[in-house]
Amino acid sequence: MLKSHACGALRADHADQEVTLAGWVHRRRDQGGLIFLDLRDRQGIAQLVIDEEQTPDVHLKAKDVRNEWVVQVRGIVRQRPEGMINPNLPTGEVEVEVNQIEILNAAKTPPFYINREEENLDEALRMRYRYLDLRRERMQRNIILRHEVVRYIRSFLSARDFIEIETPFLFKTTPEGARDYLVPSRVHPGRFYALPQSPQQLKQLLMVAGFERYFQIVRCFRDEDQRGDRQPEFTQLDLEMSFVDREDVLDLIEGLMTGIVEDVTDRELVYKPFPRLSLHEALERYGSDKPDLRYDLVAIDVSEIAGRSGFSVFTTNVEQGKPVKAIRVPGPGGWSNSQIKKFHKELEDLTKSVGAKGLAYMAVPEEEDGEVRGPIGKFFPTELKLELFEAVGVQPGDFLVFTSDTREIVYAVVDTLRRHLAVELDLIDPKKVAFVWIINFPLFEWNEDEARWDPSHHLFTAPMREDLALLESEPGKVRGQQYDLACNGYEVAGGSIRIHQRDVQERIFSLIGLEVEDAKQKFGHMLEAFEYGTPPHGGIAPGLDRLVMILAGEPNIREVIAFPKTQQAADLMAGAPSPVLPEQLEELHIALTALDEAPESSA
RNA sequence: GGGGGCGUGGUGUAGCGGUUAACAUGCCACCCUGUCAAGGUGGAGAUCGCGGGUUCGAAUCCCGUCGCUCCCGCCA
């Protein structure tokens, strides 16, 4: 080893020991005859002192040293003199009197600061020099947190008899779900592998194989457009269990998530145990299938009351079966008319962006005898107003917003408003983590375009036993044994109990319009496997990137992935994707169709 | 596929139709023996993402394009 101690590990009890350190120069403070160097390694920072009078040769070398140079030093750890202790540094009680220095590697001046946080650093620049970006404290912290989470998962599951098993990346395309990344086969001209969107089929086959409890921390690939919480390749904790029902899976994951939050982070769980909402409840109250329950803004259905008002938008909508929902915003009753108008305008513009035509409001007075402000107040007689306020749980000075439209738009409006208001009204405690289970999903969704039922989760999700009889008669009413885990407004896991009986599977296939021959073509290996003694089984797949993002308090998953891709799915550091040689294409039996413009050759 | 935001010395910003493009920081040199975002003095460093247009005059206005990003669609 080129060092005896980690820079960040030095403490007062190392005083007077001789140590050898190696790392990067974090910062230098040259005072002429006395040079201070902050030496950084993964564990932290130690202050080096170089004194011209004591060690002229070291001083001479140290004069040339710049930030990010890699150096090795030998010296004596000293308790810092009185009044020179740096309480902001874990190593701040000591410093190292250097008596030998070796420059292991000089460094160019980095294109951005390694030794400080820059607020709006251009992401393209960070990506191009990702190895430097990753040197920064924030990124080191995130990546190390990610490791701690993964380590916790492995030990938690191993202790509960789970076996980690790898599954292939070169697998088979399935037309369902997301767009596949395809890999051409050289030895099978004209055929392609697909990178798995998840190891769904394989993990079920591992249950058929009798492993009973499987997990894998595995990369998944989906060729869809990116978002802050979506990358073309992302990591799941994939797991599957045999001889379990839903409760077993939920219990396990609840224990795992609780353990991660409490043992690995300094964050606080809002709910223990995790609350459970049906999908319907989640949508009706929060407008989202992944509601953020760190704050309790709730949409209240006031359709019945609003339908009796004189406001024609409401009455017409209610007649057509469209809901009217109200959200109570605590507080701004004391505002001036212009403040209220501005506040309302902002919210209304926001909701228009998700398809709303308008946003009605009432400002509730602070005094008992005050007047309700807002244009729709006059359409509600006093009696009805009181009924409304009762239903919504109004407090004096509240601001009520009302949205009414198709159910889908109302949900979108409620979701958008909740997210916006939470930030606006500062309702979010960044230390808090709020998990919530979403259950009772419909098994199928009606596909308007294709005029058929589509599986809302995937083909192998088992129906609720008590709904089995409805499968042919009322498919829309059949609920699946499916569950999602939401956290702080993100979906962090999804899973289900699977079908393990061939006849049920075939009924599903026929319902979604999959011919037996088709099904055999696409899933023959699965159907065949299921005939050889399949245990009842189910599983779940938490998204590791999103989970770590939330725990790290980061706004997107790129901050917790060492080498992420841009929104255009590019790697700016390596320059991927890149053109390939004609010979490579030829070997793969691939001819390119004419492109509008020839792709630039990789520089 | 569609809509929005951003792009000015290495970095982060200001300038938003009119002198020599400003500030902070970084970088370079010199001074400095108790600093820790060290300090002081001096200096170098920008075809204002790229292309076209409008104008007497464009970093500034318009069109296109590229890159990053947010959102809708998409993501079983």
Provide the token pair at A232: 């073309």
pLDDT for A370 equals 80
If asked whether residues A147 and A66 sit together in one domain, one would say no
- In window 535-574 of A, residues with CB < 7 A from nucleic chain B are 556, 558, 566-568, 570, 572
Decide if A122 is inside a domain. no
CA-to-C1' distance for A127 and B50, Å? 21
CA-to-C1' distance for A111 and B15, Å? 25
CA-to-C1' distance for A120 and B18, Å? 32
**Distance from C-alpha of A233 to C-alpha of A236, rounded to nearest angstrom:** 10
What element of type H or E holds A217?
strand A213-221
**Which residues make beta-bridge pairs with A490?**
A487
pLDDT for A333 equals 62
If asked whether residues A265 and A307 sit together in one domain, one would say no
Q: Among A392, A427, A462, identify where a domain stops.
A: A427
pLDDT along chain A (603 residues), means of 10: 96 96 96 96 96 95 96 96 92 96 96 91 94 96 97 98 97 88 96 95 96 98 95 97 97 98 96 95 94 93 91 92 91 76 83 84 83 88 91 90 90 92 89 96 82 82 91 89 96 95 86 78 86 95 97 96 96 93 95 61 33
Residue A87, domain CATH = 2.40.50.140
Contacts of A225 (CB under 8 A, 6+ apart): A567
Return the DSSP state at A448: T
Of all nucleotides, the one whose C1′ comes closest to residue A198's CA is: B76
- In window 208-267 of A, residues with CB < 7 A from nucleic chain B are 222, 224-228, 230
Return the DSSP state at A523: H
By three-state DSSP, how is residue A542 classified? strand
CA distances A538 to A128, A213, A258, A301, A500, Å, are: 42, 10, 21, 35, 9
What element of type H or E holds A125?
helix A123-128
- In window 338-397 of A, residues with CB < 7 A from nucleic chain B are 353-354
Domain that includes residue A417, residue range: 295-427
pLDDT for A595 equals 62
If asked whether residues A144 and A272 sit together in one domain, one would say yes
CA distances A491 to A70, A83, A291, A488, A544, Å, are: 42, 51, 9, 9, 11
Phi first, then psi, for residue A384 (nearest 5°) are: -65, -35
Residue A202, domain CATH = 3.30.930.10
pLDDT for A597 equals 45
Question: In sequence order, which ranges of A330-403 are alpha helices (DSSP H)?
Answer: 337-352, 382-392
Decide if A287 is inside a domain. no
If asked whether residues A260 and A225 sit together in one domain, one would say yes
Nearest C-alpha neighbor of A277 from the set A298, A260, A261: A298
CA-to-C1' distance for A451 and B30, Å? 80
Q: Count the domains in chain A.
A: 3
**ipTM associated with this complex:** 0.94
CA-to-C1' distance for A319 and B2, Å? 33
If asked whether residues A356 and A458 sit together in one domain, one would say no
Decide if A335 is inside a domain. yes
Q: Which residue is nearest to nucleotide B31 (CA to C1')?
A: A32
What element of type H or E holds A407?
helix A407-424
Tally Cβ neighbours within 10 Å of residue A573: 14
pTM recorded for the entire structure: 0.94
If asked whether residues A26 and A154 sit together in one domain, one would say no
